[in-house]
Amino acid sequence: MTDYDTVSADVEHEKEIPEDHPRYQDLLTRHRIEKGVEKGITHLQGMHAEGRGSAFDYLLGEETIPSADEAERAAAAHLLLAERPVLSINGNVAALVPGEMVELAEATGADLEVNLFNRTPERIEAIADHLREHGAADVKGLEADARIPNLDHQRAKVDEDGIYAADVVLVPLEDGDRAEALDEMAKTEIVIDLNPLSRSPQVADVPIVDNIIRAVPNVTAHARELADADESELEAIVEEFDREAALEEAEERIRSGEL
């Protein structure tokens, strides 16, 4: 039997965290964010964002609820139907699911693009290198030769042949005003956010209210399952997804779920 009192969140490698620990996923995400800060990938503000997400995940029961799985399947269908899908990567995403994002890109034919609120050349290069270490062949976002309209600050900078030209964009753990600006560009937005009431999922075409460490592998699994589906089947999945119902179910689980 594991002595949980001897398990510290301050570990050198995530393999030291026992998988049968009742808060395993929470300890895992905390560890990855801390390591991300140490590597210069994640900004210190990312720790606060992760803390907020952790609280909502706790209220959701730290599991993928049925409506989230439906959203993840719809997200996979959108990405497979897209002509120019792009997966946006910020510091927390790079720290938490670098290899998983690479696998999702491979399963859907999407590009990976680094986009940061606190943007510096050093952080951009560190994240790009981190993604390459996890198997990425190409990473966009280094040029940042275009801007998202009606959005100030560094996070408006994107690649012209990346997010700017994309028809479908996955923007996990994103700030609300950027999600709104992308929505105004008439892009199909897939958002991963544990707070169903925040602006990002509220404007998303596909709001995924789930922990990113579960959500991204789930979208990849659905994409692989649907790889041989014809266009009409994928379009039916997209059409049948009810974004309002998904948000309502997530809010209801948070408000009334048993802990």
Q: Tell me the binding residues.
A: 30, 52, 193-195, 199-200, 211-212
Please return the burial class of 100, using the count of CB atoms within 10 Å of its CB with bins 0-12, 13-18 and 19+: buried
For 222, the token pair is 């659905």
SS3 112: strand
CA distance 99 to 224: 16
Q: Which residues contact 184 (CB under 8 A, 6 or more apart)?
A: 149, 150
Going by the annotation, the residues of the binding site for ATP are 30, 52, 193-195, 199-200, 211-212
**In this structure, are residues 193 and 207 in contact, taking their beta carbons and an 8 Å threshold?**
yes
For 103, the token pair is 């696998």
CA distance 63 to 68: 10
**Which amino acid, residue 191?**
V
Alpha-carbon separation of residue 203 from 172, 176, 177 (angstroms) = 13, 8, 10
